[in-house]
Amino acid sequence: MTQYCYDYPRPAVTTDICLFTVVDDDLKILLIRRGLEPFRGSWALPGGFLQETETLDQCAARELAEETGVQGAHLEAFATFSAPDRDPRFRVITAAYFALVPAQAHALASGSDADEARWHSMAKLPKLAFDHRDIIRAAREALIARLDREPLALALLPARFTLTQVQKVYEAVEGQPLDKRNFRRSFLARGWIQETGDMERGRQRPAMLFEKI
């Protein structure tokens, strides 16, 4: 911290949010098509400028709700991006967050400053604005790294879920198949979930429904 009076130009500060979900065994990210320059027409991460009275965490939650209608997602900061020329207009540094929601029908509201919001498969991303491709790559790495330490997979699932659904979340995020018996044994051993006693009935043998402890 300096002691002299501070009158240098200040950078703008934003949050950008990588909102993930898993649909049909596929990891998807929510992108917004930009309506204005720069990068008009390109896809970009939801996000926006920090306001005077809010923390970065609050900013990320607010911008996500405003631009996509998603509330209550699991939000976690994972990195900051600060290259001086990352925004062609003026200096902007951004705190990058990842967010997780269950793959249900979300009312994907087009917010005030976003034309169109759509889920994109992580397998084939479109051309992206700014350095958002770098941010997304870092987000996926952060997500994979934390998936084994925290019960993040549960944030990608509805309140009640089957073990096979959990396994498919892991497979989608990590991009590789897992052994069924080993996965069940080790995941149950974490003590993150418990049986509900109810069964999910489908076309085949019913599956036990679990819930977060």
Q: Catalytic site residues?
A: 116
Q: Which of 58, 110, 162, 196 is in the footprint of DNA by CB under 7 A?
A: 162
Q: Which stretch binds DNA (CB under 7 A): 12-20, 58-66, 95-103, 184-192?
A: 184-192
From DNA, a second copy, none, interface partner of 201 (C-beta below 5 to 8 A by class): DNA
202 near DNA, judged by CB under 7 A: yes
From a second copy, DNA, none, interface partner of 180 (C-beta below 5 to 8 A by class): DNA
Q: Which of 40, 118, 137, 180 is in the footprint of DNA by CB under 7 A?
A: 180
- Per DSSP, the residues of the chain read ---S---S---EEEEEEEEEEEETTEEEEEEEE--SSSSTTSEE--EEEPPTT--HHHHHHHHHHHHH---S-EEEEEEEE--TTSSSSS-EEEEEEEEE--SS-------TT-SEEEEEETTS---BSTTHHHHHHHHHHHHHHHHTTS-GGGGGS-SEE-HHHHHHHHHHHHTS---HHHHHHHHHHTT-EEEEEEEE--SSS-EEEEEE-
207 near DNA, judged by CB under 7 A: yes
From DNA, a second copy, none, interface partner of 54 (C-beta below 5 to 8 A by class): a second copy
Interaction site with DNA (CB under 7 A): 162-164, 179-182, 184-186, 189, 199, 201-208
